[in-house]
Amino acid sequence: MGSSMARGDIENLATDFFGLFESFKHAPFYHIIIEVSLLLAVVWLLFFRKPRPIEKKLTEKEKQELIDEWQPEPLVPPVDSNHPALNVRVLDGIVGKTVEIDGRKSLNFATFNFLNFVGNQRIADKAIQAVQKYGVGSCGPRGFYGTIDIHLELEERLAKFFSCEEGIIYSYGFSTIASIIPAYSKRNDILFVDEGVHYAIQKGVEASRSHVKWFRHNDINDLERLLAEQDVLDKKNPKKARTIRRFLIIEGLYVNYGDICPLPRMVELKYKYKYRIFIDESVSFGTIGQTGRGITEYYEYSIGSIGGFAVGSSFVVDHQRLSAQGYCFSASLPPLLAAAAIEALNIMEEDHTLLFETIMAKSKRLHKKLLSIKGYIINGDEISALKHLRLTNSLNTVGRLEEIVQFAQSRDITITVARYLTDEHHLPEPSIRLILNVEMTDEELEFLCTVLQEALVKVTA
Partner 1 sequence: MSPKTAINQKMNKSFSSNLKTKCAYENEPKYQDHEDFEETPTWAAVVTVLGYAILSALGWLRDFLRHIGFEEKKTAHDPNPKNFVPLYQSYECFYTRNLYTRIRDVFNQPIASVAGAKVHIMERISDDFNWTFKFSGKKIPSINLGSYNYLGFAENQGPCSEQAIKSIEKYGVSTCSTRHELGNQRYMQELETLMAEYLNAEDCIAFGMGFATNALNIPTLVGQGDLILSDRLNHISLILGARLSGATICPFNHNDMKDLESQLRKAIISGQPRTCRPWKKILIIVEGVYSMEGSLCKLPEIIELKKKYKAYLYMDEAHSIGAIGSRGRGVVDYWRVDPNDIDVHMGTFTKSFGSAGGYIAGKKALIDHIRIYSHSACYSTSMSAPVCYQIISALSIIMGRDGTNDGQQRIQQLACNVRYFRRQLVDMGFIVYGNDNSPVVPVMIFMPAKIAAVNREMLKRGCAVVTVGFPATLLTESRVRFCISAGHTKEMLDHALKAMDEVGHLVSLRYSKQKPHRRWIELDRADYDKEYLS
Dist. CA 373–CA 383, nearest whole Å: 18
One-letter amino acid for residue 374 of the chain: K
In whole angstroms, how close is the CB of 437 to partner 1 at the nearest point? Answer: 10
Other C-beta atoms within 10 Å of 223: how many?
23
Dist. CA 214–CA 352, nearest whole Å: 36
Contact between 346 and partner 1 by CB under 8 A: the answer reads no
Subset of residues 82 to 121 that bind partner 1, contact rule: CB under 8 A:
83-86, 88-96, 99, 108, 110-113, 118-120
In whole angstroms, how close is the CB of 94 to partner 1 at the nearest point? Answer: 5
For the chain, the farthest-separated pair of C-alpha atoms sits apart, in whole angstroms, at 139
Do the Cβ atoms of 113 and 304 come closer than 8 Å?
A: yes
In whole angstroms, how close is the CB of 400 to partner 1 at the nearest point? Answer: 18
User: Closest CB to partner 1 among 258 and 334?
Assistant: 334
User: In this structure, what are the phi and psi dihedrals at residue 302, rounded to the nearest 5 degrees?
Assistant: -65, -20
Contacting range for partner 1; rule: CB under 8 A; set: 34-42, 304-312, 362-370, 448-456:
304-312
Contact between 342 and partner 1 by CB under 8 A: the answer reads no
Residues 6 or more apart in contact with residue 350 via CB below 8 angstroms: none
User: Closest CB to partner 1 among 294 and 304?
Assistant: 304
Subset of residues 235 to 254 that bind partner 1, contact rule: CB under 8 A:
241-246
Candidates 107, 154, 177, 178; binder of partner 1 (CB under 8 A) is 178
Dist. CA 173–CA 300, nearest whole Å: 6
One-letter amino acid for residue 163 of the chain: S
User: Closest CB to partner 1 among 363 and 382?
Assistant: 363
User: In this structure, what are the phi and psi dihedrals at residue 162, rounded to the nearest 5 degrees?
Assistant: -95, 5
Q: CA angle, 363 as apex, 361 and 364 as ends, to 5°? A: 65
Dist. CA 281–CA 115, nearest whole Å: 15
Subset of residues 348 to 407 that bind partner 1, contact rule: CB under 8 A:
none
Subset of residues 184 to 203 that bind partner 1, contact rule: CB under 8 A:
184, 198-200, 203
In whole angstroms, how close is the CB of 65 to partner 1 at the nearest point? Answer: 10
Candidates 29, 30, 47, 315; binder of partner 1 (CB under 8 A) is 315
Residues 6 or more apart in contact with residue 40 via CB below 8 angstroms: none
User: Closest CB to partner 1 among 327 and 382?
Assistant: 327
Candidates 143, 228, 349, 368; binder of partner 1 (CB under 8 A) is 143
Contact between 428 and partner 1 by CB under 8 A: the answer reads no
Sign (positive/negative) of CA torsion 178, 164, 250, 292? negative
Which residues in 120-156 are b (16+ Cβ under 10 Å) and which e? beebbebbeebeeebeeebeebbeeebebebbeebbe
Identify which of 419, 451, 425 has the alpha carbon closest to the alpha carbon of residue 110.
419
Instruction: Give the chain's length.
Output: 461
Candidates 97, 107, 134, 386; binder of partner 1 (CB under 8 A) is 134
Contact between 298 and partner 1 by CB under 8 A: the answer reads no
Candidates 5, 20, 54, 79; binder of partner 1 (CB under 8 A) is 79
Residues 6 or more apart in contact with residue 460 via CB below 8 angstroms: 375, 391, 395
Do the Cβ atoms of 459 and 135 come closer than 8 Å?
A: no
Contact between 409 and partner 1 by CB under 8 A: the answer reads no
Contact between 224 and partner 1 by CB under 8 A: the answer reads no
Residues 6 or more apart in contact with residue 18 via CB below 8 angstroms: none
Candidates 71, 221, 290, 353; binder of partner 1 (CB under 8 A) is 71
Contact between 19 and partner 1 by CB under 8 A: the answer reads no
In whole angstroms, how close is the CB of 233 to partner 1 at the nearest point? Answer: 14
Candidates 52, 271, 374, 394; binder of partner 1 (CB under 8 A) is 271
Size of the site for partner 1 (CB under 8 A): 112
User: Closest CB to partner 1 among 254 and 382?
Assistant: 254
Using CA atoms of 293, 286, 175, 94 in order, give the dihedral in degrees to the nearest 10: 180
Contacting range for partner 1; rule: CB under 8 A; set: 14-22, 61-69, 350-358, 367-375:
61-69
Dist. CA 324–CA 332, nearest whole Å: 13
In whole angstroms, how close is the CB of 235 to partner 1 at the nearest point? Answer: 14
User: Closest CB to partner 1 among 110 and 158?
Assistant: 110
User: Closest CB to partner 1 among 43 and 131?
Assistant: 131
Contact between 441 and partner 1 by CB under 8 A: the answer reads no
